[in-house]
Amino acid sequence: MIKVGIIGGAGYTAGELIRLLLNHPEAEIVFVNSSSNAGNKITDVHEGLYGETDLVFTDQLPLDEIDVLFFCTAHGDTKKFLESHNVPEELKIIDLSMDYRLASPDHDFIYGLPELNRRATCKAKHVANPGCFATCIQLGLLPLAKHLMLNGDIMVNAITGSTGAGVKPGATSHFSWRNNNLSIYKAFEHQHVPEIKQSLKQLQNSFDSEIDFIPYRGDFPRGIFATIVVKTKVVLEEIVRMYQEYYAKDSFTHIVEKNIDLKQVVNTNKCLIHLEKHGDKLLIVSCIDNLLKGASGQAVHNMNLLFNLEETVGLKLKPSAF
C-alpha cells in the first residue's frame, strides 16, 4: 500500500483528494494535516464522507511514515513549507499549488500534465500539478503544438464553476450574487497563462504567439468549459486524425465527434474535446471537472504514475450526466 500524507486538508481539492484516496485500492491515508481543524473529524468538514472514514485532522507531520505527500495549500505555502522543514530525501511530493509549475534551476519539480510529461513523471520524485484552466486549455492545444501549427494569436474563452474560487466565502462566490449571473475576471492576465505557454513551447519551440484568454465565472458549482479559436487552412479530417493520434495512449482525454457538454465530465477525470472547422477557423471545445481532472483527480493520476500503477486505478468514475 502507498502510505499518503496530506497537508492543507480543509478545502475543496483536499476533500476530493481524500474521497479518491479512500476508494483507491493501493493507497492508505496516514494523516491529513490541518492546524485550524486539528482534533476534528474529517467528516466535520467534508460532510460528503459520512460513513466512509473515521479519520481525524491532525497538526502533526509524521513524514517518515509516508511514501507520498500531497500539498493542497494556498499558493506560496508549499515553497515556505519545504524551505522551513526537513523533508525525507526519498519522500515523493505532489504539489497542487502553483509554486513549482514553471521550470527553474531552483527546483526539480516535473510539470505533471500526464498527456505531455508522462515519461518524466514516471521517473520523478517531485511533481507540480497543473492548474485547472491550464489543464483544460492545454489539452485542447497540445496536438497542434506538436505539429507546429500554432503560428498566430489564440483566442480562448473559458467558464469555471464556483468551486474554482476555493472554499473560503467571498463576494463573487456568494449564492445570491453568483446564481443566475455571469462575469469575467483577470481578462488577458490570468495566472495560468505562463504555464500554458511553457507547455506549448515545449512541443513547438518557435511558439511566440499571444493567448488572449478571457475567464468567466459561471453560476454552477464545478466544471470548466473552454472554447478555443485558432486559424489554420488544414482540413478538419486531418486535424481530427492528429488529435486522435496524439491522445491514442491516454486513458482520460477523448476526441468526440458530436458536440459536448459539461455534465459529461463532471465527477470524472476525463477531458472531452470536440473539433469544428469554420472556414479557416478551427474551433476547439474542451471541458473538464475543475476539481478532478483540473486538480485532485490529476494528482491521483500522477501518484499512479509515480508508483508504476496502471493510470486509471481509483479513477474510474461515473459522470454526473443527469
8 Å CB contact between 4 and 26: no
Name the DSSP letter for residue 182.
-
Q: In sequence order, which residues have a C-beta less than 8 Å from that of residue 36 and are 6 or more positions away?
A: 10
Describe the strand order of the beta sheet including 92-95 as a list of residue ranges: 27-33, 2-7, 68-71, 92-95, 126-128, 110-111
Q: In the chain, where does DSSP find H-type helix?
A: 12-22, 42-45, 77-84, 114-122, 132-146, 175-178, 193-203, 236-246, 297-306
Q: Residue 20 has which C-alpha cell?
A: 479518491
Environment class of residue 305 by beta-carbon count within 10 Å: exposed (0-12), middle (13-18) or buried (19+)? buried
Q: In sequence order, which residues have a C-beta less than 8 Å from that of residue 140 and are 6 or more positions away?
A: 226, 228, 273, 284, 285, 286
Catalytic residue among 72, 122, 132, 287: 132
Q: 11, 70, 71: which is closest to 37 by C-alpha?
A: 11
Sign of CA dihedral 36, 164, 199, 314: positive
Name the DSSP letter for residue 193.
H
136 is catalytic: no
111: part of which helix (H) or strand (E)? Answer: strand 110-111
Residue positions annotated with a catalytic role: 132
